[in-house]
Amino acid sequence: MKFGLFGINNGACASPKTAAAVARAAEQAGFDSVWTGEHVILPDPQVAPSPVAPDFPMLDPAIALAYVAAHTERIRLGTGIIILPQRNPVVLAKELATTDVLSNGRLIFGIGVGYLKPEFDAIGAPFDHKGARSEEYLAAMIALWSQPKPEFNGRWVKFKGVNAMPRPVQKPHPEVVFGGHTPEAFSRAARLAKGWYGFALDLEGAKKCIAGVKEACAKAGRNFAELEISVTPRGATDLDAVRRFADAGVHRLILLQRGADEAGILNQVRETGRDLIGRV
């Protein structure tokens, strides 16, 4: 079992001092990765399904991970997730290639399609065809990262006679992970990614989603064993829970930061290293 830490760009970790200290401590404790969340804006006042209050601090994922990269050496840096259909894929390809270069190849590109319409409206991004646009945007980004002479001719993205340097350190491109709990999300992970990420799931919820990913792999002709399954568990996680998630097929648990401040998060990181990572 691998262990990640979610929220290196938000809450108390929106402070650069805290983010650096927590990332260093996580690396020392044996965490394999730290992960960001993303909402460019939040509805004010908060309305469902918005996950947090409008004044909740949240740094941009690529910028936050580049900063964390400068304060660490080995720990992997995951976007958990970037809302891809809200982004310009050509600009995002440059930003994430930069993050991968600055971290010497430690980026994990976690993708979601989004669900907050007020966020899409504020950005000026259409709310329809989110899944199809995400797939096309990803294909365009991979073309920029991997083709000797990048060229792409899609429904929403078209370019030729261009280039973008430097390319990512990871070849042919950074690892891709799709998040989401729907059959469409499972299909995208099965067809297009190295991994799937389920957020805030209890054990039974994780089992149901993993079954869905397996079914999607069978339909896509993909070997399920090739996919890395990551889950952020809901609630506290002890050693027995870790073993149950592992038995269910989970490869990485990405734990929510629980501390209200730097001291609390650092204490959580140290306890996880001692009580879980050191014992599995």
* Strand ranges (E), the chain: 2-6, 33-36, 76-79, 82-83, 107-112, 152-153, 158-159, 175-179, 195-201, 228-233, 252-256
Flag residues of the chain having pLDDT under 70. none
CA atoms within 13 A on the CB side of 211: 6
CATH classification of 2-279 is 2.30.42.10, yes or no? no
Predicted confidence at residue 235, as pLDDT, reads 84
- DSSP H or E stretch at residue 113: none
What is the C-alpha separation between 12 and 263, in angstroms, rounded? 10
Look up tokens 């957020």; give the residue.
Answer: 199
pLDDT computed for residue 236 by the predictor? 83
Alpha helices in 60-170 (DSSP H): 61-69, 89-102, 117-123, 130-146
Contact 24/274 with Cβ under 8 angstroms? no
Kindly state the tokens that stand for 101.
Answer: 């270069």
Rounded distance between C-alpha atoms, residue 193 and residue 6, angstroms? 20
Domain boundaries, the chain: 2-279
The strand pair at 228-233 and 175-179 is best described as unpaired
pLDDT digits (tens, 9 = 90+) for 73-103: 999 999 999 999 999 999 999 999 999 999 9
